[in-house]
Structures are given as C-alpha cells and as structure tokens.
C-alpha cells in the first residue's frame, strides 16, 4: 500500500475523532455564562446560514461574519464561491478544521438544513487592535524623528489669556480644571469655556493626546499627565470632558492600575473632585465606524489651529484602535461599565439632542455628500443608518441620549444641541453665542468651589 494512502487512512479517522470530541464538548459546555469576565451573549454574535443541497456556501457565511465585525462583506459574498459538504462525520471534521483555519473566530454547528455560526466579536476586534498597534510601532521605527516630533505635540498645557504655556511654568495653585477632548478633535473645542474659566479666576489646563490609539493607551497618557500636574503642587482637579474623553476619565478613576475606584488620589495622583461629561458615548456610538472623514477633519483642524497637520501625524495618533473601543459592546466598554463608579467624586452628564433632524433631511444630506464629496455607496448607507439611529433616540447626531446615561448618576442635563456645538461655536466662530453646556459646567464648578470653601 502506498505511503500516502496509509497516511490518508489514519488522517480521516483522527479528524473525525477530534470533530466528535469537539461536538461533545460543545454540547456539555454549550453556553457558559461568562468568558474571561465577559457575558457570553456580549462576546458572540450568532447567526444561521441556510445550506444549499447539504453544502455550506462559504462566501455567504464569511460575508455575514464580516458585516457583523464592521467590515464590508459584499466582496467576500461576490468572490468566494466555495461550497463544502457539512453533513456526517467528514463534514463535522471539515467544520472543526474551518474553525482552526479562521483562528477560532468562527464556531460552526449543523442544525437540520442550516449551519449555526457563532462569531467571536471580541477576539476579532482584539486582534484588529493588536495588528494596528504593530503597524504604528513599525512606522515609529521607520520614521523615528517624525515619531518623536509628533510625540512632543501632545500633553497637558496651562491655558492662559495670552496663550498656552507648559505646565512646568504653572503658577502656584492647589486646584485646576482639566479639559479632555474626544475622538479626532484637532483643536478649537474649548475657547468659550476657557474664557469663562478665566473670568472666574479658575486655572484651566487642556490635554491633547494621540486620540485614535486604543483607549487604554490614551488613559495611561491622561494619568501620567495628571501625575505631572500633581508634581507641580496641584492637589485637586475637576475634569471636564467632551465625547470620548469621558471614557478616559472613567477608566482612570475605576481601573485598579490607577485610582482603584477612589477619586481622592494618592501620593502620585491628585484628587478628582468633579467629573463633568459632555456628550459622552458611555455605551458606545455606531458613528465610530465612520473614521476616514473625521480623521480628515482632525488634520484640517490641526492645520488651521496649530499648524501641526501631517500625513505621519494621522498614523502616530493611532490607526483606528479607538474606533474599535468606541463601538457598542466593545470589550473596553463592557469591562468599564461592569465596574462600580469611583467613590468620592461628583459626576455630571450633559447630553445633547437635535430637534429638527428628520429622516428626509438625513437622506438629502447624504445625497449631497455622495454627489459633491464622492463618498462610496457603502459609506453613504452607513452614514444614513447611523444618523437615523441617533436621531430616532433624540441624539446629538453622533451619540444617542440612551448611550450618555449612566446608572447611578442622577445629575443629568439634556440640552438642545449637536455633538460639537454643545460646548463650542464650531460653525459660527468667532461669535458671541454662549454654547449651552458652558453655563451648566460653570454652575457645577462654582458649586464645587463653594463646597470646598465651606469646609
């Protein structure tokens, strides 16, 4: 008997045995409640694919999985025509082999005339972030001088009426208001609020950071800058955030590596007295998928406000890891929202809603962008879907009102404003208009100051 035939005779039974064992284990431990602390239903997407004469259309199955991971599955459906038999022992062996080939992203089980597919969302997104992080590290090695130049652009600065000053020259004070922007903000978010802070003789410090990297990295950056501020003699801070910035502050306050749920700080970190969150995506935003357009906007802002726009800057501030973390039910958000709120800190949520947005206006706007901005049909459809979702929940155009709410935070304010102009005059600058969130923020900060004085 030829050697190759003998190997084949052994290989098929072995694959069948592994397939049967996998099937038995799958039945015994079919649906564990949690996997590494994440609920089973949050980790896996489940869907079915109808069999075609006992065969699985691989292109349809992979296309559906791509759609659920935020990628475009149309190309896979159109170009992958492979069909495999999935019935019987040999079919089960093929399904187990397919699971290994896809790096355990997909688990497949035959159910009558359909295949039940379990898609590991968390693992896919985690590997996406890991790959993007490696690409950034490669770029930093290739252009070390540019990477260092970009790194020096970020940090905490003391905002004075005469311009930004390094916090190393910060005047003696025991309290500062720290301003933390959100995703793809290249500058110009805080001028109206800063003016009011100066009028009230409050010290304002603004953080800029590589905001498209993972939220874990950005949180670490925020904590390091707060430590620098504490080293300069600042014992107490109030943090005001816009959009994604709220997630960094909450992560810093609750993560066991940093504040450990106790906002009073320690020998390294200042006390956080108040956290004011403006338009925070506490439960994610589907608009996070639409990354290219907002990245272009950020670099345009940097060109206008700070003259720091560059192609490499769009790489070194992150390659979209933050957008993965910002998607609803991401691993980052699931872990963050599973923790209790930090103690000894007052928390305020300020949300916005658009009053006059309708599905007809959304469709008209998308048609205009398709015609004049030459966006693809897929991006146009994604824009329209995301905009209609947030408008249906009376959102601010980016974040739904539901996503801003936090259980246990009772100081909640709802304003008629869009995501950006809730705190800045983004379309009417320069203007005497006072953004609606500014008086709310100032009222909370003044109340906090009165509490401290009363002590």
Bond prior to 430 in cis (omega within 30° of 0)? yes
Q: Using 70 as the pLDDT threshold, list the residues of the chain that sit under it.
A: 1-37, 69-71, 186-187, 289-313, 356-358, 374-376, 378, 388-394, 426-431
Tens-place pLDDT, residues 84-128: 888 888 888 888 888 888 888 888 888 888 999 998 888 888 898
Alpha helices in 373-413 (DSSP H): 377-392, 401-404
Half-sphere exposure of 276 (CA within 13 A, CB side): 23
Contact present, 353 and 339 (Cβ < 8 Å): no
Contact present, 326 and 288 (Cβ < 8 Å): yes
Which two structure tokens, joined as six digits, stand for 123? Answer: 């693992």
Angle, vertex CA 65, rays to CA 83 and CA 63, nearest 5: 55
Grouping H, G, I as helix, E, B as strand and the rest as coil, residue 159 is: strand
pLDDT attached to residue 111 = 85
CA distance 11 to 15: 6
Residue labelled with tokens 């896809």: 102
Please state, in angstroms and as integers, the Cα–Cα distance from residue 59 to each residue in 82, 368, 408, following that order: 7, 33, 45
pLDDT attached to residue 320 = 86
The answer to whether the pTM exceeds 0.85 is: no
Grouping H, G, I as helix, E, B as strand and the rest as coil, residue 45 is: strand
pLDDT attached to residue 357 = 64
191-199 and 437-454 helices, crossing angle to 10°: 30
Alpha helices in 339-414 (DSSP H): 359-372, 377-392, 401-404
The answer for residues whose C-beta is within 8 angstroms of residue 210's C-beta and 6 or more apart is 150, 154, 217, 218, 221, 316, 317, 318
Pick the closest to residue 274 from 300, 236, 219, 304 (CA basis). Answer: 236
The full set of domains in the chain, from first to last, is 3-121 (no CATH), 143-354+394-454 (3.40.50.1820)
Strand boundaries in 172-311, DSSP class E: 175-180, 204-208, 236-242, 271-278
121-142 and 144-151 helices, crossing angle to 10°: 110
pLDDT attached to residue 22 = 42
The answer for residues whose C-beta is within 8 angstroms of residue 10's C-beta and 6 or more apart is none
CA distance 34 to 443: 42
CA distance 310 to 152: 14
**Helix or strand (DSSP H, E) at 332:** helix 331-338
CA distance 262 to 251: 12
pLDDT attached to residue 75 = 84
Grouping H, G, I as helix, E, B as strand and the rest as coil, residue 158 is: strand
The 10 Å Cβ neighbour count of residue 381 is: 13
């Amino acid at each position: 008997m030829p050697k190759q035939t003998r190997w084949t005779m052994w290989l098929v039974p072995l694959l069948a045995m592994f397939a049967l064992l996998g099937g038995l284990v799958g039945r015994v431990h079919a649906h564990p409640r949690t996997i590494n602390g994440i609920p089973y239903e949050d980790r896996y997407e489940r869907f079915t694919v109808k069999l075609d004469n006992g065969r699985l259309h691989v292109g349809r199955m992979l296309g559906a999985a791509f759609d659920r991971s935020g990628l475009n599955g149309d190309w896979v459906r159109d170009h992958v025509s492979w069909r495999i038999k999935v019935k019987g022992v040999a079919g089960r062996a093929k399904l187990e082999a397919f699971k290994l080939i896809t790096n355990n992203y997909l688990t497949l089980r035959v159910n009558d005339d359909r295949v039940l597919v379990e898609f590991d969302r968390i693992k896919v997104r985690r590997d996406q972030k890991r790959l993007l992080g490696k690409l950034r590290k490669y770029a930093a090695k290739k252009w070390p001088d540019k990477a260092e130049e970009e790194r020096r652009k970020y940090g905490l600065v003391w905002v004075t009426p005469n311009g930004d000053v390094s916090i190393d020259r910060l005047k003696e004070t025991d309290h500062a208001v720290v301003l933390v922007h959100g995703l793809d903000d290249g500058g110009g978010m805080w001028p109206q609020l800063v003016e009011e802070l100066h009028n009230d003789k409050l010290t304002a410090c603004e953080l800029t950071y590589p905001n498209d990297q993972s939220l874990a990295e950005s949180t670490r950056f925020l904590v390091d800058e707060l430590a620098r501020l504490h080293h300069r003699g600042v014992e107490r801070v109030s943090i005001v955030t816009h959009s994604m910035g709220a997630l960094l502050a909450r992560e810093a306050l609750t993560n066991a590596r940093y504040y450990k749920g106790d906002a009073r700080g320690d020998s390294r970190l200042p006390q956080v007295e108040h956290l004011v969150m403006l338009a925070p995506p506490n439960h994610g935003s589907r608009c996070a998928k639409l990354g290219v357009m907002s990245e272009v906007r950020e670099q345009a802002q940097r060109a206008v406000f700070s003259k720091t726009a560059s192609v490499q800057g769009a790489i070194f501030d992150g390659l979209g890891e933050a957008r993965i973390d910002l998607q609803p039910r991401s691993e980052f958000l699931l872990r963050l929202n599973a923790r209790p709120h930090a103690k000894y800190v007052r928390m305020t949520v300020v949300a916005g809603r658009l009053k006059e947005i309708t599905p007809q206006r959304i469709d008209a706007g998308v048609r205009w962008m398709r015609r004049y901005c030459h966006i693809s049909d897929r991006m146009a459809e994604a824009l329209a879907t995301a905009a209609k979702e947030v408008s249906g929940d009376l959102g601010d155009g980016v974040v739904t009102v539901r996503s801003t709410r936090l259980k246990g935070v009772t100081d909640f304010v709802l304003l008629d404003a869009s995501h950006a102009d809730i705190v800045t005059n983004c379309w009417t600058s320069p203007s005497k208009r006072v953004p609606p969130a500014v008086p709310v923020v100032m009222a909370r900060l003044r109340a906090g100051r009165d509490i401290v004085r009363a002590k």
